[in-house]
Amino acid sequence: MNPVKSVRLALALLVLSFAAASWAAGGSVRLDRAQIDVGDPVSLQAGARSFVNYCLGCHGASLMRYNRLRDLGLSDSQIRDNLLFTSDKVGDLMAIGMTRQDGKAWFGVAPPDLSVIARSRGADWLYTYLRAFYRDASSPTGWNNLVFDRVAMPHVLWHLSGQAVLEVREFRSEGEARAAQLQSKAFSTIAEQGEGAHKRFLLRSMRVDVPGSLSPAKYDETVRDLVNYMVWMAEPAQQSRVKIGIAVILFLVVLLVLTWLLYRQYWKDIH
């Protein structure tokens, strides 16, 4: 085989193996759908409140200013009275007191800035992640997560959701595991283990054993609002951008009609 051909072959194999790896990694986790609606101010306000209360303690949202929350229909005094904990001015950024070094020292990993997390992770991932914490005595925080194995973040919403424990069921074939996954409505993942005749498919799901202050449906709603807010925060201008887009198109249509009329006027005597 000549060198060019073998390089091509190697490249092709590399691409194929990446494709196979991402298939294997993504194939077993089917994320729950987050029914978000960035046009719903009540949900966004509730989400902003949860975000400030439960997340800003560790994560910053340094691209976001508090006064941008006016776009959600909140007044400055509402923002000041209900949402300002970590700073004192409505015009301040959603920054936090914790430094990256502290975060790293406390959790092993510095909690990332969440300003645009919804763009990198996607709403469905966030929605599933925040509902996939379970108790795990072997982890430093006492928590683990079904979509983010060995995550360094503790389950900060546990008093709302309650505490869940992991349940693992073993199947001999992928088909059986999938069938069981389809039957249960709760979120679950499937992972392969072992080789050849010892190959097993593990279906991991969670069972709440200490209920929280919210019902499961209410908790899902709270998380949905929170994710809705994070999606809005990642691109606060999206609503106004749509409005501007419509206005621009209307303007162009009017302009088109006017130029056409003008064109007829100019040419009417020339024939």
Q: Work out how close the CB of 73 gets to ligand HEC at its nearest, in angstroms, rounded to a whole number.
A: 22
- Pick 74 or 117: Cβ nearer ligand HEC: 117
**Calpha distance 204→189 (Å, rounded):** 5
**Calpha distance 191→88 (Å, rounded):** 48
Binding mask 218-247 for ligand HEC (x = CB under 6 A): --------x---------------------
Q: Taking the CB of residue 37, how many other CB atoms lie within 10 A of it?
A: 13
User: Rule CB under 6 A: is residue 147 a binding residue for ligand HEC?
Assistant: no
For the stretch 181-191, what's the b/e string if a residue is b when 16 or more beta carbons lie within 10 angstroms of its beta carbon?
A: beeeeebbbbe
User: Rule CB under 6 A: is residue 109 a binding residue for ligand HEC?
Assistant: yes
User: Rule CB under 6 A: is residue 58 a binding residue for ligand HEC?
Assistant: yes
Q: Is 166 helix (H, G, I), strand (E, B) or coil?
A: strand
User: Rule CB under 6 A: is residue 117 a binding residue for ligand HEC?
Assistant: yes
Q: Work out how close the CB of 188 gets to ligand HEC at its nearest, in angstroms, rounded to a whole number.
A: 20
- The residues, ordered by sequence, that sit 6+ positions from 2 with a Cβ below 8 Å of its Cβ are none
> For residue 106, what are its two tokens?
């406390």
- The residues, ordered by sequence, that sit 6+ positions from 228 with a Cβ below 8 Å of its Cβ are 34, 36, 37, 38, 40, 43, 44, 47, 123
Q: Work out how close the CB of 228 gets to ligand HEC at its nearest, in angstroms, rounded to a whole number.
A: 12
Stretch that binds ligand HEC, among 23-31, 114-122, 168-176, 233-241 (CB under 6 A): 114-122
User: Rule CB under 6 A: is residue 122 a binding residue for ligand HEC?
Assistant: no
- The residues, ordered by sequence, that sit 6+ positions from 132 with a Cβ below 8 Å of its Cβ are 145, 146, 147, 148, 187, 206
Q: Work out how close the CB of 179 gets to ligand HEC at its nearest, in angstroms, rounded to a whole number.
A: 31
**Calpha distance 132→128 (Å, rounded):** 6
Residue selected from 44, 83, 123, 153 as contacting ligand HEC according to rule CB under 6 A: 153
User: Rule CB under 6 A: is residue 111 a binding residue for ligand HEC?
Assistant: yes
Residue selected from 52, 83, 126, 132 as contacting ligand HEC according to rule CB under 6 A: 126
Q: Taking the CB of residue 56, how many other CB atoms lie within 10 A of it?
A: 20
Q: Work out how close the CB of 3 gets to ligand HEC at its nearest, in angstroms, rounded to a whole number.
A: 41
User: Rule CB under 6 A: is residue 152 a binding residue for ligand HEC?
Assistant: yes
Contact residues: ligand HEC, CB under 6 A: 54-55, 57-59, 107, 109, 111-112, 114, 117, 121, 126, 129-130, 151-154, 156-157, 226
